[in-house]
Amino acid sequence: MLSLTANLGDAKTTIVHPATTTHGRLTDEDRAAAGISQSLIRVAVGLEDIIDIKADLELGLGAL
């Protein structure tokens, strides 16, 4: 259900890896100074039911 995107201005829940998308052009040092690590994932919660969002996150993270 979560959409992988760099567009964070949406009504649906999105997920993004900032180090390779929104902050991908920064140097490693600049990303570190901004608190953007390689393991950071940003989730922008949308208007879906929270139970559905949690279930989708559990499914995806459980696959790791």
Average pLDDT over residues 32-61: 93
* Per-residue pLDDT at 5 exceeds 80: no
Query: What CATH number should be reported for the domain whose range is 3-62?
Result: 3.90.1150.10
Residue 38 banded pLDDT, cuts 50, 70, 90: very high
Q: Using CA of residue 50, residue 16, residue 23, residue 19, what is the dihedral sign?
A: positive
- What's the mean pLDDT when you consider all of the chain? 87
Q: What is the pLDDT of residue 4?
A: 63
Average pLDDT over residues 30-47: 93
Residue 10 banded pLDDT, cuts 50, 70, 90: confident
Give the closest residue to 51 by CA, choosing from 1, 11, 8. Answer: 1
Chain mean position to CA 19 = 10
